Amino acid sequence: MSKEDTSRWIKSIIISIIVFLFFSLYLFARRGYFNFYIVNKVFGSSAVILAGATLFIGPLSRRFSFFTKGIRIRRHLGLLAFAFGLLHVVITIFFLNTKFPLSFYINAWLPVGFGSLVIFVWAYMSYISRNTKIKEMGTDVWKKRLSIAGQLAFLFIFLHLFIMKYEGWIKWFHGQVKQTPELAHPSYPPASLFTLFFIVTVIVYRIYIFLFRKK
């Protein structure tokens, strides 16, 4: 690994830690405790933010010079997003199986299915992001495939999160979420709403860029 690549990894990891700490501190403040179940939530939310950042960086760098340096770490952020997402899946299935039994997956087959698609698409993106594969495909073809796959995965993320969480959001907006031993401050918005807002922002911006290019 070159010195430049090491520097990119360090920057990407620092950004990932900041995102991870933000969700960790917020969930601790809202719930009043911090355990492995919360850590797993943080992995999932952090994966979404990092993946969304990779979709933001490209268009923003063409408009604002401040974001041009982000292009150099976009691939690294994407790989870390995949790593976080994979950890989220592994922890859910193998370490939180009492909280998520087989019946959960049967009842929530649709959002679970979209979540699985995200992991499969991210795995494909990670596979073609190897230096040898990039050289084999050619930079232009690689960028095109990566862009299409990344946007498709992000749409699956939106469907996964929305279907899984929308009932809880409706209850919170109607003030039906009450204080419990597992929820110290029910008046605080669910952390998933912040993730949703970010997802929608990315999708709307990408649609705007697509329409702008067509004109």
Q: What is the mean pLDDT of residues 206-212?
A: 82
Residues 6+ apart with CB under 8 A from 86: 119, 122
What's the mean per-residue pLDDT of the chain?
Answer: 92
Asked if the model's pLDDT at residue 215 lies above 70, the reply is: no
Q: Name the residue with tokens 């299935």.
A: 93
Q: pLDDT at position 52, please? A: 94
Greater confidence, 61 or 32?
32
Asked if the model's pLDDT at residue 59 lies above 80, the reply is: no
Q: pLDDT at position 66, please? A: 62
Q: pLDDT at position 194, please? A: 97
Structural domain boundaries, residue 29 = 3-214
Q: pLDDT at position 208, please? A: 85
d(CA 168, CA 97): 22
Predicted structure pTM score: 0.93
Q: pLDDT at position 94, please? A: 94
Q: pLDDT at position 130, please? A: 83
β-bridge partners, 183: 180
Asked if the model's pLDDT at residue 214 lies above 80, the reply is: no
Q: pLDDT at position 69, please? A: 74
Q: pLDDT at position 213, please? A: 67
Q: pLDDT at position 85, please? A: 97
How many domains does one find in the chain?
A: 1
The predicted-structure confidence for 120-172, as pLDDT tens digits, reads as follows 999 999 999 888 888 888 888 888 899 899 999 999 999 999 999 999 999 99
Q: In this prediction, what percent of the chain has a pLDDT beyond 90?
A: 73
Asked if the model's pLDDT at residue 1 lies above 80, the reply is: no
Asked if the model's pLDDT at residue 93 lies above 80, the reply is: yes
